[in-house]
Amino acid sequence: MGTFDLAELGLTPAHRQEAARLDPTMHLARVSSQHKDFYQVITEEGESLAQVTGKMMHDAASPADYPAVGDWVLVDRPSDVDGPVIIHHLLARRSCFARRAAGTSAMLQVVAANVDTIFICMSLNRDFNLRRLERYLAIAWDSGAVPVVVLTKADLADDVPVRVAEVRSVAPGVEVLATSSLDSEGLDSLLHHLRRGTTIAFIGSSGVGKSTLINRLLGQDLLAGHPGPARR
């Protein structure tokens, strides 16, 4: 069986050092998706189904203590050939995109972790809303990731320079890119963020073109349009 280069997904020497301190007999993995009580993790042997230990469930004081998409974890083995691999340790998060957990007033639930750059997507037609953008920017900065404002559907707007100036007035120091998935305008400016070992998150209202933009960047239709954030 071939091996997968976890450095492609952002594994660093610091992660390896932390893993060695926690338990050198375990295997490093990154969480790629979550499905209620199960996770998909990527190890050096590919993607596997995973579960957390009973001890982790017992010790968790809040939803934020559980693994989330993007987390680096330690698992007992590199493959789920003999059943789900078991997550024993959660490595320290470099960044954390969180929201309040359902049914609580204070506890946070981690939506995505260890994100380097957040593309805040807002269309240049009916979705354009500076107050909403300011809220997204606050969330992005609080997460520890670097925000980039991506204005979509530039082909549908006649006043793009004016809109860009308005966005820059509420987002000082933030890169602002006007794009169009129809004619690929501005996509080259996004590509320089997609480097080996980096993680990008896309956030924005439903219908602004996140999935279309991701498909254009990937060069293939992997995502259907859907609400909510999308990850690369």
* Buried-state track 201-219, b at ≥16 Cβ within 10 A, e below 16: bbbbbeebbbbbbbbbbee
Q: Which of 91, 112, 133 is the last residue of a domain?
A: 112
Which of 89, 112, 135 marks a domain boundary? 112
Same domain, 76 and 124: no
Task: Report yes or no on 1 lying in a domain.
Answer: no
Q: Is 171 in the same domain as 150?
A: yes
**pTM score of the predicted model:** 0.85
Residue 33 is part of which domain span?
Answer: 6-112
Count of domains observed in the chain = 2
Indicate whether 44 and 132 sit together in one domain: no
94 in the same domain as 10: yes
- Using the structure block, give the residue that is written with the tokens 């890119």: 177
pLDDT score, position 197: 93
CA distance 28 to 183: 41
Helix ranges (H only) for 92-220 are: 130-143, 160-170, 187-191, 210-218
pLDDT in tens, the chain (232 residues): 568 899 999 999 999 999 999 999 999 999 999 988 899 999 999 999 999 999 999 999 988 999 999 999 999 999 999 999 999 999 999 999 888 766 655 677 899 999 999 999 999 988 899 999 999 999 999 999 999 999 999 988 888 999 999 999 999 999 999 998 777 778 888 888 888 999 999 999 888 888 888 888 887 555 554 434 334 3
Whole-angstrom Cα distance, residue 225 to residue 26? Answer: 38
Same structural domain, 106 and 124: no
In a domain, 128, yes or no: yes
